Chain A
């Protein structure tokens, strides 16, 4: 059940997808924050 190449392959796969999900989530949060700031600035004007 425990082949080192197989464990490494599945581990890397999990790592790649988790990293990408984290990156895309971070980009969304940054944009949401910027959008809020822009809306607030527009409302003040």
Chain B
């Protein structure tokens, strides 16, 4: 992977993709009729939300993989997805209220979708706190994997919330059945933005995995040094 697609090239591709997404959001996608300019928050809000959900899916897969095979690589994968996913989920919770205030007149309401997304953010926080507070690495990995698997229940409910309950959050415009839909140019802008966010997510994951590999190397050398000092 490192030889075929080196990190520097990955960073350049991510940057260019984000530039293209920015261009499409501001100059290609049409202005929404009722909300006006502020609706352009939609592209980054939805793309961040989808990426955060995919991140939790990766935590789930990494956690199952770790409990099954007990491989450190699966644990690193889940931990990395939690850290980067937390960043994307924070972006959802930041852009949401900034869009809600001018459109709904309120920053926040405890409706099903908003509450479940907040719960998802708390799950990311819980996972990361568990990783830092439990000192024993093996124990920390097992407990985090359990949280990763159990917490995944929130993701499909969060996704379906606007389909099951009619509350403050708008009904789905994507895969929402009859009467829903987007202007084709809005679709293009949204998909390109999501692609750029996935590319950024993959880049940050690679950086995290490198960090985890370095951490293991340092821990091994420290252990070796301690044992040689004791002997």
Give A contacts to B, CB under 8 Å: 1-3, 5-6, 8-10, 12-13, 16-17, 20-21, 24-25, 27-28, 31-32, 34-35, 38-39, 41-42, 45
Give B contacts to A, CB under 8 Å: 26, 36-38, 40-41, 44-45, 48, 84, 87, 90-91, 94-95, 98-99, 101-102, 200, 204, 207-208, 210-211, 214-215, 217-218, 221-222, 224-225, 228
Known contacts A13-B44, A17-B200; A3/B207 CB under 8 A: no
Q: Is the CB of A16 within 8 A of B94?
A: yes
Q: Is the CB of B26 within 8 A of A1?
A: yes
Which residue of chain A lies nearest to B45 when distances are taken between CB atoms in the complex?
A9
Q: Is the CB of B38 within 8 A of A31?
A: no
Q: Which listed residue (B36, B90, B211) contacts A27, Cβ 8 A?
A: B211
CB distance from B70 to the nearest CB of A (A): 24
For chains A and B in complex, what number of residue pairs have CB atoms within 8 angstroms? 80
CB distance from A37 to the nearest CB of B (A): 9
Q: Is the CB of B208 within 8 A of A1?
A: no
Q: Is the CB of B99 within 8 A of A9?
A: yes
Q: Is the CB of A28 within 8 A of B37?
A: no
Q: Is the CB of B91 within 8 A of A13?
A: yes
CB distance from B40 to the nearest CB of A (A): 6
19 chain-A/chain-B pairs, Cβ below 8 angstroms: A1-B37, A2-B37, A3-B37, A3-B38, A5-B102, A6-B37, A6-B40, A10-B44, A12-B95, A13-B48, A16-B94, A17-B91, A21-B204, A25-B207, A31-B214, A31-B218, A35-B214, A35-B217, A38-B222
